[in-house]
Amino acid sequence: MMFSAGIGLYLLAHVGYLWFALVNGRLHKIFTIIVLTGFLLFFFLKLFPVIDDTILLIATLLYLLISCFSIGAAYGIKLPPLVKWSYFAGVSFILFSDTIIALFEYTSYVGMNFLILPTYYAAHISITFALMRRTG
């Protein structure tokens, strides 16, 4: 239950990422559909068969969906290139880091665990840089 609550709190962070991107652009539909298709395949082929808790399953699916919409909106930002691509890189790093965490937590794959913290830190540095450049 605590793991599901943690996923819910990180989902709120993605709502913030999504909000910023939509305020400064639009959802890039084609890119979002491509990313969403890939991650839904990942969910139904790799995660769904091994998650036996309904709340955890729903929390994971909702988090996956908001993550895909966040990156699709980041791709559609209409700001100067340095801001747009820094922000997009940050959201991409988070999605990558979260994918590695999902592989570890649900499938016990540990081959890329060493990348979790570096990509997570890079995500926040990139997003913070984009926000500073946006306001500065």
| 24-76 pLDDT, tens digit each | 999 999 999 999 999 999 999 999 999 999 988 998 999 999 999 999 999 99
Mean pLDDT across the stretch 77-89?
Answer: 97
Pick the closest to residue 123 from 99, 96, 98, 91 (CA basis). Answer: 91
CB 47 within 8 A of CB 106: yes
d(CA 13, CA 91): 11
Q: In the prediction, which pLDDT does 108 show?
A: 83
d(CA 32, CA 72): 4
Q: Which SS3 state, helix, strand or coil, does residue 77 take?
A: strand
| 117-126 pLDDT, tens digit each | 999 999 999 9
Structure tokens at 74: 């980041």
Kindly report the average pLDDT of the chain as a whole number.
93
d(CA 75, CA 10): 20
Q: In the prediction, which pLDDT does 118 show?
A: 96
Q: In the prediction, which pLDDT does 8 show?
A: 80
